[in-house]
Homo-oligomer: A and B are copies of this chain.
Amino acid sequence: MRKAVVVYSGGMDSSTLLAYVASQVFEVYAISFNYGQRHKKELQYAKKFAKLFTNLVEHKIIDISVINELIQGSSLTTPGIDVPDGHYAFETMKSTVVPNRNAIMLSLACGYAVSLGANCLFVGVHSGDHFIYPDCRPEFIETIDKAFRLGNQGFANEDLRIVAPFMYSTKADIVKLGKQLSIDYSKTWSCYKGGNIHCGRCGTCFERREACILAGVSDPTKYKDNRSLDVIQKEMEKK
């Protein structure tokens, strides 16, 4: 059977991706990363959610938190820097960038894929990520895919490619697909702040809430701040 490696965080997008890949005729290998993110909670969610799929052969959680000796200053990984509230498209969201994160994760996942003789390496980047995160944009993914093919010539399965099926989808598109795949999104974790429940205010909570609204899917998530997005946004604009 053909093999697929899925880069998988336990969030909405990559959980939908996992379900999407598992709904096809693949042996599925999921890989998650502990990179010192303060929302490590996503990994606990990832572990549980992955168990739902019978054609998932293996789910590896790889500790690369050593990268924090190299990369400093991201609010996602640096204790003293606050995760900003507000919409993903805000300039302030730039503090959540971890430089070269996707190159690092994809390089490791690709090594795994080559070693397995896999045919596809799936990643859940989508169009909503493009504005803030340059390493989610199509030109980056296409170019690093080309680099990996060149760098593994003669060693990788010949048809090995990075596949990003949501590249031109919105998060609302993803949620709508997830609904059709019967995903229970209460079993996924987004919030960057990593508290007991989703904060409802940070970039990824905003995105999660907005996606459900736009997709017309009821949101099963409990939010600490559960006032409407409009109210929260207006409050933030006043500050």
- Which residues on A are within 8 Å of B, measured CB to CB? 31, 60, 62-64, 66-67, 69-73, 94, 97-104, 106-112, 114-115, 134-135, 137, 139-140, 143-144, 146-148, 150-156
Contact: A102 with B151, CB < 8 Å? yes
CA distance A67 to B112 in the complex (A): 8
Cβ-neighbour of A67 out of B97, B99, B111, B148 (below 8 A): B111
Q: What are 5 residue pairs bridging A and B, where the CB atoms are less than 8 Å apart in the complex? A: A100-B111, A103-B107, A103-B110, A106-B107, A140-B150
CA distance A122 to B5 in the complex (A): 31
| Chain copies in the assembled complex | 2
In the complex, the chain B residue whose C-beta lies closest to that of A115 is: B71
In the complex, the chain B residue whose C-beta lies closest to that of A5 is: B70
CA distance A100 to B147 in the complex (A): 10
CA distance A70 to B111 in the complex (A): 7
CA distance A109 to B104 in the complex (A): 10
Contact: A104 with B99, CB < 8 Å? no
CA distance A171 to B139 in the complex (A): 35
